[in-house]
Structure 1
Amino acid sequence: MIFYGTNGTHLRTEALPGTACPTCGTSNALKASLCSRYAHIYWIPFFPYAKLAVVQCGACQATWENKTLPAEIAPAVRTLKQQTRQPYWAWAGLLLVASLSVGGTLYGIHDTHTDEALLAAPRAGDIYTVHADSADMYSLLKVRQVSGNGVELVANDYQTDNRHPLADLNEPDKYSQEPFVLTRLDLQIMRRQGKLTDVDRP
Protein backbone atom coordinates (compact mmCIF):
# COMPACT_ATOMS: atom_id res chain seq x y z
CA MET A 1 0.00 0.00 0.00
CA ILE A 2 1.30 3.45 -0.92
CA PHE A 3 0.75 6.15 1.68
CA TYR A 4 0.29 9.50 0.02
CA GLY A 5 -1.48 12.75 0.69
CA THR A 6 -1.01 16.45 1.21
CA ASN A 7 0.31 18.59 4.01
CA GLY A 8 1.14 22.20 4.72
CA THR A 9 3.82 24.34 6.29
CA HIS A 10 3.99 27.97 7.38
CA LEU A 11 6.14 30.15 5.13
CA ARG A 12 6.01 33.64 6.61
CA THR A 13 3.83 36.25 8.31
CA GLU A 14 4.23 39.85 7.19
CA ALA A 15 2.46 43.16 7.70
CA LEU A 16 0.77 44.75 4.70
CA PRO A 17 1.89 48.38 5.06
CA GLY A 18 -0.16 51.10 3.43
CA THR A 19 -3.23 48.87 3.22
CA ALA A 20 -6.35 49.74 5.20
CA CYS A 21 -8.67 47.15 6.70
CA PRO A 22 -11.77 46.80 4.49
CA THR A 23 -13.93 46.28 7.59
CA CYS A 24 -12.83 48.91 10.12
CA GLY A 25 -10.70 51.17 7.92
CA THR A 26 -7.63 51.01 10.20
CA SER A 27 -4.38 51.53 8.28
CA ASN A 28 -1.29 49.36 8.75
CA ALA A 29 -3.18 46.85 10.91
CA LEU A 30 -3.27 43.97 8.45
CA LYS A 31 -0.98 40.95 8.59
CA ALA A 32 -0.82 38.17 6.02
CA SER A 33 0.27 34.63 6.82
CA LEU A 34 1.38 32.44 3.92
CA CYS A 35 1.34 28.65 3.98
CA SER A 36 2.62 26.17 1.43
CA ARG A 37 0.66 23.07 0.46
CA TYR A 38 2.66 20.11 -0.79
CA ALA A 39 2.10 16.52 -1.86
CA HIS A 40 3.90 13.72 -0.06
CA ILE A 41 4.45 9.98 -0.46
CA TYR A 42 5.34 8.02 2.67
CA TRP A 43 5.55 11.42 4.37
CA ILE A 44 8.39 12.50 2.08
CA PRO A 45 7.53 15.88 0.48
CA PHE A 46 7.46 15.54 -3.30
CA PHE A 47 6.38 18.91 -4.67
CA PRO A 48 4.55 22.06 -3.56
CA TYR A 49 1.39 22.92 -5.44
CA ALA A 50 -0.13 26.00 -3.78
CA LYS A 51 0.47 29.03 -1.57
CA LEU A 52 -2.44 29.89 0.68
CA ALA A 53 -2.92 33.22 2.44
CA VAL A 54 -4.80 34.23 5.58
CA VAL A 55 -5.11 37.95 6.35
CA GLN A 56 -6.16 39.29 9.74
CA CYS A 57 -6.75 42.81 11.00
CA GLY A 58 -5.05 43.49 14.32
CA ALA A 59 -7.62 46.15 15.19
CA CYS A 60 -10.99 44.49 14.57
CA GLN A 61 -9.79 40.86 14.21
CA ALA A 62 -11.55 40.45 10.85
CA THR A 63 -10.08 37.52 8.93
CA TRP A 64 -10.05 36.55 5.27
CA GLU A 65 -8.76 33.39 3.66
CA ASN A 66 -7.28 32.83 0.25
CA LYS A 67 -10.48 32.71 -1.83
CA THR A 68 -12.33 35.39 0.11
CA LEU A 69 -9.73 38.17 0.03
CA PRO A 70 -11.33 41.57 -0.61
CA ALA A 71 -10.26 43.29 -3.80
CA GLU A 72 -8.61 46.08 -1.79
CA ILE A 73 -6.00 43.79 -0.24
CA ALA A 74 -5.64 41.11 -2.94
CA PRO A 75 -2.84 42.97 -4.85
CA ALA A 76 -0.69 43.31 -1.71
CA VAL A 77 -1.14 39.62 -0.92
CA ARG A 78 -0.34 38.68 -4.52
CA THR A 79 2.90 40.67 -4.32
CA LEU A 80 3.84 38.96 -1.06
CA LYS A 81 3.25 35.54 -2.63
CA GLN A 82 5.49 36.42 -5.56
CA GLN A 83 8.25 37.46 -3.16
CA THR A 84 8.02 34.24 -1.16
CA ARG A 85 9.77 31.10 -2.37
CA GLN A 86 8.67 27.59 -1.69
CA PRO A 87 11.11 25.79 0.66
CA TYR A 88 13.68 23.64 -1.10
CA TRP A 89 12.86 20.63 1.04
CA ALA A 90 9.32 20.60 -0.39
CA TRP A 91 10.89 19.19 -3.59
CA ALA A 92 12.84 16.48 -1.72
CA GLY A 93 10.93 13.54 -3.19
CA LEU A 94 11.34 14.65 -6.79
CA LEU A 95 15.03 15.40 -6.18
CA LEU A 96 15.45 11.92 -4.68
CA VAL A 97 13.77 10.26 -7.67
CA ALA A 98 15.86 12.32 -10.09
CA SER A 99 19.08 11.46 -8.22
CA LEU A 100 18.29 7.75 -8.23
CA SER A 101 17.41 7.89 -11.92
CA VAL A 102 20.63 9.69 -12.83
CA GLY A 103 22.66 7.39 -10.58
CA GLY A 104 21.10 4.30 -12.15
CA THR A 105 21.76 5.62 -15.64
CA LEU A 106 25.41 6.41 -14.85
CA TYR A 107 25.86 3.00 -13.24
CA GLY A 108 24.35 1.32 -16.30
CA ILE A 109 26.69 3.25 -18.62
CA HIS A 110 29.70 2.35 -16.46
CA ASP A 111 28.65 -1.31 -16.30
CA THR A 112 28.19 -1.43 -20.08
CA HIS A 113 31.64 0.04 -20.67
CA THR A 114 33.15 -2.44 -18.20
CA ASP A 115 31.43 -5.37 -19.92
CA GLU A 116 32.69 -4.24 -23.32
CA ALA A 117 36.26 -3.98 -22.02
CA LEU A 118 36.13 -7.45 -20.43
CA LEU A 119 34.61 -8.98 -23.53
CA ALA A 120 37.34 -7.48 -25.71
CA ALA A 121 40.04 -9.14 -23.59
CA PRO A 122 38.62 -12.48 -22.39
CA ARG A 123 40.36 -14.49 -19.67
CA ALA A 124 39.94 -17.97 -18.26
CA GLY A 125 37.30 -17.84 -15.54
CA ASP A 126 35.21 -15.08 -17.12
CA ILE A 127 31.49 -15.79 -16.91
CA TYR A 128 29.01 -14.60 -19.52
CA THR A 129 25.30 -14.26 -18.84
CA VAL A 130 23.38 -15.31 -21.94
CA HIS A 131 19.74 -14.87 -22.89
CA ALA A 132 18.57 -18.41 -23.60
CA ASP A 133 16.43 -19.36 -26.58
CA SER A 134 13.46 -19.80 -24.26
CA ALA A 135 11.63 -16.54 -23.60
CA ASP A 136 12.87 -14.65 -20.54
CA MET A 137 15.27 -17.39 -19.48
CA TYR A 138 18.97 -16.90 -18.76
CA SER A 139 22.00 -19.12 -18.37
CA LEU A 140 25.79 -18.90 -18.11
CA LEU A 141 28.87 -19.57 -20.22
CA LYS A 142 32.27 -19.93 -18.53
CA VAL A 143 35.59 -19.30 -20.27
CA ARG A 144 37.98 -22.24 -19.85
CA GLN A 145 40.84 -20.89 -21.88
CA VAL A 146 41.71 -18.36 -24.55
CA SER A 147 43.91 -19.20 -27.50
CA GLY A 148 44.48 -16.47 -30.04
CA ASN A 149 41.12 -15.55 -31.53
CA GLY A 150 39.38 -18.60 -30.08
CA VAL A 151 37.61 -18.66 -26.72
CA GLU A 152 36.93 -22.10 -25.25
CA LEU A 153 33.71 -22.15 -23.24
CA VAL A 154 31.55 -24.52 -21.25
CA ALA A 155 27.81 -23.99 -21.03
CA ASN A 156 25.77 -24.15 -17.86
CA ASP A 157 23.19 -26.92 -18.04
CA TYR A 158 20.56 -24.91 -16.18
CA GLN A 159 18.38 -21.90 -16.87
CA THR A 160 16.59 -19.38 -14.70
CA ASP A 161 14.24 -16.44 -15.17
CA ASN A 162 16.62 -14.31 -13.07
CA ARG A 163 18.36 -11.78 -15.33
CA HIS A 164 21.39 -11.98 -13.03
CA PRO A 165 21.78 -15.74 -12.60
CA LEU A 166 25.37 -15.79 -11.32
CA ALA A 167 24.45 -16.55 -7.70
CA ASP A 168 21.89 -19.20 -8.73
CA LEU A 169 23.82 -21.12 -11.37
CA ASN A 170 27.55 -20.60 -10.91
CA GLU A 171 28.46 -23.95 -9.35
CA PRO A 172 31.04 -26.33 -10.89
CA ASP A 173 28.69 -29.31 -11.12
CA LYS A 174 26.14 -27.27 -13.09
CA TYR A 175 28.43 -26.80 -16.09
CA SER A 176 28.74 -29.18 -19.00
CA GLN A 177 31.94 -31.18 -19.40
CA GLU A 178 31.87 -30.68 -23.17
CA PRO A 179 33.69 -27.48 -24.19
CA PHE A 180 33.12 -25.60 -27.43
CA VAL A 181 34.91 -22.72 -29.11
CA LEU A 182 33.61 -19.33 -30.20
CA THR A 183 35.65 -16.57 -31.75
CA ARG A 184 35.94 -13.13 -30.21
CA LEU A 185 33.85 -11.86 -33.11
CA ASP A 186 31.14 -14.41 -32.29
CA LEU A 187 30.99 -13.06 -28.74
CA GLN A 188 30.82 -9.46 -29.98
CA ILE A 189 27.95 -10.38 -32.30
CA MET A 190 26.10 -12.09 -29.45
CA ARG A 191 26.57 -8.95 -27.38
CA ARG A 192 25.18 -6.69 -30.10
CA GLN A 193 22.20 -9.01 -30.63
CA GLY A 194 21.35 -8.94 -26.94
CA LYS A 195 22.10 -12.64 -26.48
CA LEU A 196 25.10 -11.98 -24.22
CA THR A 197 23.84 -9.62 -21.53
CA ASP A 198 26.54 -9.43 -18.85
CA VAL A 199 30.20 -10.17 -18.21
CA ASP A 200 31.63 -11.07 -14.79
CA ARG A 201 35.27 -11.57 -13.91
CA PRO A 202 35.76 -13.22 -10.49
Structure 2
Amino acid sequence: MFSSTKRPFRPLLIALTGGIASGKSAVAEIFAELGAPVLDTDQIARDVVEPGTPALAQLVAEFGSDILDTSGRLDRVRMRERVFADPAQRKKLEAITHPAIREELAARAQRAQGPYQIHVIPLLIESGRADLYDRVLLVDTSEEEQLKRLMARDGSNEALARQILAAQASREDRLDAADDVIVNTGTLQDLQRFVQTLHRNYKLLAERINAQ
Protein backbone atom coordinates (compact mmCIF):
# COMPACT_ATOMS: atom_id res chain seq x y z
CA MET A 1 0.00 0.00 0.00
CA PHE A 2 1.39 3.33 -1.04
CA SER A 3 1.11 6.45 1.07
CA SER A 4 1.47 9.98 -0.19
CA THR A 5 2.49 13.10 1.64
CA LYS A 6 1.07 16.42 0.61
CA ARG A 7 3.62 19.07 -0.18
CA PRO A 8 3.43 22.16 1.99
CA PHE A 9 1.85 25.14 0.26
CA ARG A 10 4.44 27.51 -1.18
CA PRO A 11 3.35 31.11 -1.59
CA LEU A 12 4.20 32.92 -4.80
CA LEU A 13 6.93 35.45 -3.97
CA ILE A 14 6.68 38.83 -5.66
CA ALA A 15 9.44 41.42 -5.36
CA LEU A 16 8.00 44.93 -5.67
CA THR A 17 10.69 47.41 -6.65
CA GLY A 18 11.25 50.77 -8.32
CA GLY A 19 13.36 53.85 -8.02
CA ILE A 20 12.99 56.15 -5.04
CA ALA A 21 9.76 58.19 -5.13
CA SER A 22 8.34 56.10 -7.97
CA GLY A 23 5.16 55.18 -6.10
CA LYS A 24 6.03 51.81 -4.54
CA SER A 25 4.34 52.67 -1.26
CA ALA A 26 1.05 53.52 -2.95
CA VAL A 27 1.09 50.23 -4.87
CA ALA A 28 2.00 48.25 -1.73
CA GLU A 29 -0.87 49.88 0.17
CA ILE A 30 -3.37 48.79 -2.49
CA PHE A 31 -2.08 45.21 -2.35
CA ALA A 32 -2.46 45.29 1.44
CA GLU A 33 -6.04 46.54 1.12
CA LEU A 34 -6.74 43.52 -1.12
CA GLY A 35 -5.52 41.23 1.65
CA ALA A 36 -2.05 40.38 0.38
CA PRO A 37 0.78 40.10 2.91
CA VAL A 38 3.08 43.06 2.25
CA LEU A 39 6.56 42.93 3.77
CA ASP A 40 8.27 46.30 3.34
CA THR A 41 12.04 46.27 3.69
CA ASP A 42 12.06 50.05 4.26
CA GLN A 43 9.91 49.51 7.36
CA ILE A 44 12.03 46.54 8.38
CA ALA A 45 15.12 48.72 7.93
CA ARG A 46 13.63 51.14 10.47
CA ASP A 47 12.65 48.36 12.85
CA VAL A 48 16.09 46.73 12.96
CA VAL A 49 17.77 49.99 14.05
CA GLU A 50 15.34 50.89 16.81
CA PRO A 51 16.96 51.78 20.16
CA GLY A 52 18.26 48.66 21.87
CA THR A 53 18.82 46.66 18.69
CA PRO A 54 22.22 45.11 17.88
CA ALA A 55 22.29 46.84 14.50
CA LEU A 56 21.94 50.32 16.02
CA ALA A 57 24.70 49.55 18.52
CA GLN A 58 26.95 48.51 15.62
CA LEU A 59 26.15 51.69 13.71
CA VAL A 60 27.02 53.87 16.70
CA ALA A 61 30.28 51.96 17.17
CA GLU A 62 31.13 52.46 13.49
CA PHE A 63 29.91 56.01 12.85
CA GLY A 64 29.72 57.65 16.28
CA SER A 65 26.87 58.85 18.48
CA ASP A 66 26.26 61.95 16.36
CA ILE A 67 24.13 59.78 14.03
CA LEU A 68 21.48 59.69 16.80
CA ASP A 69 18.76 62.27 17.36
CA THR A 70 17.87 63.67 20.77
CA SER A 71 15.61 60.70 21.54
CA GLY A 72 18.38 58.17 20.88
CA ARG A 73 17.00 57.04 17.55
CA LEU A 74 18.89 56.93 14.29
CA ASP A 75 18.73 60.30 12.53
CA ARG A 76 17.98 58.93 9.08
CA VAL A 77 18.34 62.24 7.23
CA ARG A 78 21.78 62.87 8.75
CA MET A 79 22.83 59.29 8.06
CA ARG A 80 21.62 59.51 4.46
CA GLU A 81 23.51 62.75 3.81
CA ARG A 82 26.65 61.24 5.28
CA VAL A 83 26.68 57.96 3.36
CA PHE A 84 25.59 59.34 0.01
CA ALA A 85 28.52 61.74 0.12
CA ASP A 86 30.94 58.82 0.62
CA PRO A 87 30.51 55.43 -1.11
CA ALA A 88 32.90 53.76 1.35
CA GLN A 89 30.74 54.81 4.27
CA ARG A 90 27.63 53.63 2.43
CA LYS A 91 29.20 50.18 2.12
CA LYS A 92 29.91 50.14 5.86
CA LEU A 93 26.30 51.04 6.57
CA GLU A 94 25.00 48.31 4.26
CA ALA A 95 27.35 45.71 5.75
CA ILE A 96 25.67 46.27 9.12
CA THR A 97 22.04 46.80 8.14
CA HIS A 98 21.51 44.47 5.15
CA PRO A 99 22.11 41.17 7.00
CA ALA A 100 19.76 42.28 9.80
CA ILE A 101 17.10 43.29 7.28
CA ARG A 102 17.33 39.99 5.38
CA GLU A 103 17.09 37.94 8.57
CA GLU A 104 13.99 39.82 9.73
CA LEU A 105 12.41 39.65 6.26
CA ALA A 106 12.84 35.87 6.20
CA ALA A 107 11.29 35.53 9.65
CA ARG A 108 8.26 37.61 8.70
CA ALA A 109 7.83 35.73 5.42
CA GLN A 110 7.66 32.46 7.33
CA ARG A 111 4.79 33.82 9.45
CA ALA A 112 2.82 35.42 6.59
CA GLN A 113 -0.37 33.81 5.28
CA GLY A 114 -1.76 33.98 1.75
CA PRO A 115 -1.38 32.58 -1.77
CA TYR A 116 1.27 35.18 -2.59
CA GLN A 117 3.45 37.67 -0.78
CA ILE A 118 4.63 41.12 -1.79
CA HIS A 119 8.16 41.95 -0.66
CA VAL A 120 8.89 45.66 -1.16
CA ILE A 121 12.62 45.87 -1.97
CA PRO A 122 13.73 49.24 -3.38
CA LEU A 123 17.33 48.08 -3.98
CA LEU A 124 16.41 44.69 -5.43
CA ILE A 125 18.49 45.09 -8.60
CA GLU A 126 21.47 46.60 -6.79
CA SER A 127 21.52 43.73 -4.28
CA GLY A 128 21.39 41.05 -6.97
CA ARG A 129 18.47 39.27 -5.31
CA ALA A 130 15.93 39.31 -8.13
CA ASP A 131 16.50 35.62 -8.89
CA LEU A 132 15.16 34.70 -5.44
CA TYR A 133 11.65 35.71 -6.52
CA ASP A 134 9.00 34.20 -8.74
CA ARG A 135 8.09 37.58 -10.22
CA VAL A 136 9.60 41.06 -10.17
CA LEU A 137 7.02 43.86 -10.23
CA LEU A 138 8.42 47.26 -11.17
CA VAL A 139 6.75 50.58 -10.46
CA ASP A 140 8.13 52.82 -13.18
CA THR A 141 8.14 56.56 -13.73
CA SER A 142 10.48 59.11 -15.32
CA GLU A 143 13.58 60.37 -13.51
CA GLU A 144 12.23 63.91 -13.78
CA GLU A 145 9.09 62.84 -11.90
CA GLN A 146 11.19 61.03 -9.30
CA LEU A 147 13.25 64.17 -8.70
CA LYS A 148 10.17 66.31 -8.28
CA ARG A 149 8.51 63.88 -5.87
CA LEU A 150 11.69 63.27 -3.86
CA MET A 151 12.36 66.96 -3.35
CA ALA A 152 8.75 67.57 -2.33
CA ARG A 153 8.56 64.53 -0.05
CA ASP A 154 11.85 64.74 1.83
CA GLY A 155 12.75 68.38 1.43
CA SER A 156 15.95 67.30 -0.31
CA ASN A 157 17.78 69.85 -2.41
CA GLU A 158 18.26 69.01 -6.07
CA ALA A 159 21.95 68.11 -5.71
CA LEU A 160 21.24 65.55 -2.96
CA ALA A 161 18.21 64.21 -4.82
CA ARG A 162 20.35 63.63 -7.93
CA GLN A 163 23.02 61.93 -5.81
CA ILE A 164 20.41 59.55 -4.42
CA LEU A 165 19.11 58.72 -7.91
CA ALA A 166 22.63 58.21 -9.24
CA ALA A 167 23.39 55.70 -6.46
CA GLN A 168 20.52 53.46 -7.58
CA ALA A 169 20.23 51.11 -10.53
CA SER A 170 19.32 52.75 -13.80
CA ARG A 171 15.76 52.79 -15.05
CA GLU A 172 16.85 50.59 -17.96
CA ASP A 173 18.34 47.95 -15.64
CA ARG A 174 15.15 47.82 -13.58
CA LEU A 175 13.03 47.43 -16.72
CA ASP A 176 15.28 44.61 -17.95
CA ALA A 177 14.77 42.71 -14.69
CA ALA A 178 11.00 43.20 -14.45
CA ASP A 179 8.36 40.58 -15.20
CA ASP A 180 5.49 43.02 -14.62
CA VAL A 181 5.53 46.82 -14.91
CA ILE A 182 3.16 49.43 -13.53
CA VAL A 183 3.71 52.78 -15.25
CA ASN A 184 2.86 55.25 -12.50
CA THR A 185 1.99 58.35 -14.51
CA GLY A 186 -1.77 58.36 -14.03
CA THR A 187 -4.26 58.65 -11.20
CA LEU A 188 -4.75 56.65 -8.02
CA GLN A 189 -7.70 54.97 -9.73
CA ASP A 190 -5.37 53.84 -12.52
CA LEU A 191 -3.04 52.31 -9.95
CA GLN A 192 -5.92 50.53 -8.26
CA ARG A 193 -7.03 48.97 -11.55
CA PHE A 194 -3.48 47.80 -12.34
CA VAL A 195 -3.06 46.26 -8.90
CA GLN A 196 -6.47 44.55 -8.92
CA THR A 197 -5.55 42.84 -12.20
CA LEU A 198 -2.19 41.73 -10.84
CA HIS A 199 -3.86 40.51 -7.64
CA ARG A 200 -6.05 38.15 -9.64
CA ASN A 201 -3.16 37.00 -11.81
CA TYR A 202 -0.88 36.31 -8.85
CA LYS A 203 -3.53 34.20 -7.11
CA LEU A 204 -3.91 32.12 -10.28
CA LEU A 205 -0.14 31.71 -10.60
CA ALA A 206 0.11 30.62 -6.97
CA GLU A 207 -2.55 27.95 -7.60
CA ARG A 208 -0.63 26.69 -10.64
CA ILE A 209 2.75 26.35 -8.96
CA ASN A 210 1.19 24.47 -6.06
CA ALA A 211 -0.78 22.16 -8.37
CA GLN A 212 2.38 20.96 -10.12
Q: TM-score range by the shorter chain?
A: under 0.3
More strand by share: 1
TM-score, normalised on structure 2?
0.22
TM-score, normalised on structure 1?
0.23
Based on CA coordinates, which of the two structures has the bigger radius of gyration?
1
Q: Which has the higher contact order (CA 8 A, sep 6+)?
A: 2
